[in-house]
Amino acid sequence: MNRAAQAVVMVFLGGAIVRASVTDLYLRYVKQGLRPFLVAAGVLLVVAAVMALTQEIRDRHRPTAREDDEHSHSGPAVGWLLLLPALALLFVVPPALGADTAARAGSALTDNQDVAYPPLPPGDPARLTLLDYGYRAVYDQGRTLRDRQIQLTGFLAPGPDGQPMLARIVLSCCAADGIPIKIGLRGEVPHLPADTWVRATGRWIPHTAKDPVNDSDIPYFQLDTWQQITPPAEPYE
Amino acid sequence: MLLILVGVLHRQVGGVVADPRLQTWLTVFVSVLVQAVPFLVFGVVLSAVIAVFVPRSFWARALPRHPALAVPIAGVAGVVLPGCECGSVPIAGSLIRRGVTPAAALAFLLAAPAINPIVLTATAVAFPRNPEMVAARGGASLVVALLMGWLWLRLGRAEWIRLPHRAHLDGLPRMAAFWAACRHDIVHAGGFLVVGAMAAATINVAVPQQFLHDLAARPVLSVLALAALAVLLSICSEADAFVAASLSQFSLTARLAFLVVGPMVDLKLVSMQAGIFGRRFAARFAPATFALAVLVAAAVGTVIW
């Protein structure tokens, strides 16, 4: 792998990173806080590539000491692999994690967080994350959820019994550590394809099930109304 | 021409990756890289600054004469070299070339990729609920590095190390050397990072959760399993904390073993060590480091958790 090839690979990778981070595409893979670092790293990659190309052109016009340069500027063939993520980011743009992960991985409610749960935020319905709803429902026995209309946003994923559940992926850093949070549904359950995003309004019900994958708890939610929505820019919780 | 090729590829590739499992694989693969690239690039830039603008003789002057004292100083000096393990192998080689005692250079080689600020920051970001992981990782890695340094003083033989004759940054103007070092490290380390991300995505998608769940339930086996996984995955130390965080069904001790072993012994590192120090060296050094790293990580983990 010579110097010009290395420069081309770095331009592709840097360009792909910059493009993903100036649009909202990067949110499919990492958390929002990484954005400035992604832009800076992408720009640096492109600058390093431009410097390499300038050097290359300068050396081409200077025929002396070619042999030594050739040796010291070559890189390992493994560097070509950097094209893979660049091309994937530019041309495939893999989707955010969804129903496939929800089906394979166990739900997030495995350890009791022994905290005092504050009252629900004001509003009717009160908007909660799936994780917040889950913790309050399972580990606080729904104490703060009673007698309130609640709104949850997530995608549909088939549950172990074939019935659709409401799910969302929780990230701590990047999609490699994504863990699903699953909420069982009762009432007029939407029968739409998996990975369809819905905004659901309803109430807490005192019913839980176990996730067969990892024995975690799956709380349930009584649907009153729901509407299909476009996937949010920030797909994770 | 290139644009047409790209256009055709776009259609073709789009059709192939309709399978949900493959899509998940691609998403995980891309996300490991997107997460790791800023850390990789900044690590490479900083290590290029040090490699080009700090004279190498500085390191030789800064270390005490006595080898047994030089080991801890060199190990702790790893803090100031923000880079991943791919960067520290050539630097350790050049330290030896500059007359630093091999034991000290090896302590530096093992410590630098694990205890520098970028890696520890990444660890803190990856384990927001377990800040003690940062101290455990830094402490255990430093202990392993120092023990290996002193072990080398007792048992190591100078003839096991064979350095190649080459110093490609010498003789270049400073800025040219700086950009050459950046490019070289990005392509080297980045390429191996892609291999690691592919392996990590495969493990993430292909290994049944139930299997990991069962493995994670056995304390001793889980520590050994994650230590072995760290060797196989060969993830850059600037990114490995995020992968460790994703192995959430495993105990913190097992994940600590993953984080301590990874920057010291892995497939790409052993091949780089064989290339720079010679095969006879790598064949002895890597297994000894692995055993020591597992023992120290298990001990530290048992004490803390």
Measure CB to CB from residue A79 to each of B180, B187, B243 and give the nearest one: B187
Task: Chain A: give the shortest CA distance to residue B15, in Å.
Answer: 10
Q: How remote is the C-alpha of B148 from its chain's centroid?
A: 16
Query: Given an 8 Å threshold on Cβ–Cβ distance, is A41 in contact with B242?
Result: no
Give the model's pLDDT for residue B10.
Answer: 64
Q: Which residue of chain B comes nearest to A79, CA vs CA?
A: B191
The per-residue pLDDT for range A161-211, each reduced to its tens digit, is 888 999 999 887 778 778 899 999 999 899 899 999 999 999 999 999 988
The rounded mean pLDDT for chain B is 83
Query: How many helices (H) and strands (E) would you count in chain B?
Result: 15, 0
Per residue in B232-270, pLDDT (tens digit) is: 777 768 778 877 876 777 899 999 999 999 999 987 778
State the number of CA atoms in the 13 A half-sphere of B58 facing the CB.
Answer: 9
Task: Please list the helix, strand and coil fractions of chain B in percent, rounded to the nearest 5, in that order.
Answer: 80, 0, 20
B33 vs A28: CA distance, rounded Å: 13
Are A175 and B176 an interchain contact pair (Cβ–Cβ within 8 Å)? Answer: no
Q: Nearest CB to B128: which of A91, A106, A172?
A: A172
Distance of alpha carbon A192 from alpha carbon A157, whole angstroms: 10
The DSSP code sequence of A170-213 is E-SSBGGG-EEEEEEEEES-----TT-EEEEEEEEEEEEEE-TT
For chain B, say whether A25 makes contact (Cβ under 8 Å). Answer: no
Q: Measured between CA atoms, how close is B190 to chain A, in angstroms?
A: 7
State the average pLDDT for chain A. Answer: 88
A115: CB partners within 8 A, 6+ apart: none
In chain A, which residue ranges form alpha helices assigned H by DSSP? 3-22, 35-60, 66-73, 83-87, 99-104, 130-139
CB spacing of A92 vs B17 below 8 angstroms: yes
The answer to whether residues B213 and B232 touch, using CB atoms and an 8 Å cutoff, is no
User: Quick check: B206 contacting A, CB < 8 Å?
Assistant: no
Which among A26, A72, A214 has the least Cβ separation from residue B209? A214
Amino acid letter, A87: L
What pLDDT sits at residue A73? 59
Residues of A in contact with B29 (CB under 8 A): 84-85, 88, 94
> Between residues B93 and B286, which one has the greater pLDDT?
B286
Token pair 């920051």: residue = B121
What is the nearest CA distance from A125 to chain B, expressed in angstroms? Answer: 31
**pLDDT tens-digit map of A89-118:** 999 889 999 999 998 888 888 766 667 788
> Which of B13-17, B156-160, B198-202, B256-260 tops mean pLDDT?
B256-260
CATH class of A99-228: mainly beta
**Residue B186: band (very low, low, confident or very high) from pLDDT cuts 50, 70, 90:** confident
d(CA A236, CA A143) in angstroms, rounded, equals: 26
For chain B, say whether A189 makes contact (Cβ under 8 Å): no
Residue of B nearest to A82 (CA): B191
Q: Which of residues 151-180 of A touch B (CB under 8 A)?
A: 172-179
* Placement of tokens 């392509």 in the chain: B187
Query: Taking CA B134 as the corner, what is the angle to CA B89 and CA B294, rounded to the nearest 5 degrees?
Result: 60
- Check CB contact of B46 with chain A, cutoff 8 Å: no
- CA distance linking residue B153 with residue B177, whole number of Å: 34
φ/ψ region of A29 (left if φ > 0, alpha if ψ in -120 to 50, else beta) reads: alpha
Partner-chain contact A41 B35, CB within 8 Å: no
Higher pLDDT, A78 or B285: B285
Instruction: Considering only the beta carbons, identify the residue of A78, A100, A174 that sits closest to B20.
Output: A100
Find, in chain A, the residue whose alpha carbon is nearest to that of B167: A72
C-alpha span between A228 and A190 (Å, rounded): 9
User: In angstroms, rounded to a whole number, what is the distance separating the alpha carbons of residues B2 and B147?
Assistant: 54
Kindly report, residue by residue over B12-28, the tens digit of the pLDDT: 665 666 788 889 999 99
Q: Which of B202, B195, B219, B198 is nearest to B268 (CA)?
A: B195
Spatial contact of B195 and A81, defined as CB atoms under 8 Å apart = yes
Asked if B252 is an interface residue toward chain A (Cβ–Cβ < 8 A), one would say: no
Looking at residue A151, its amino acid is Q
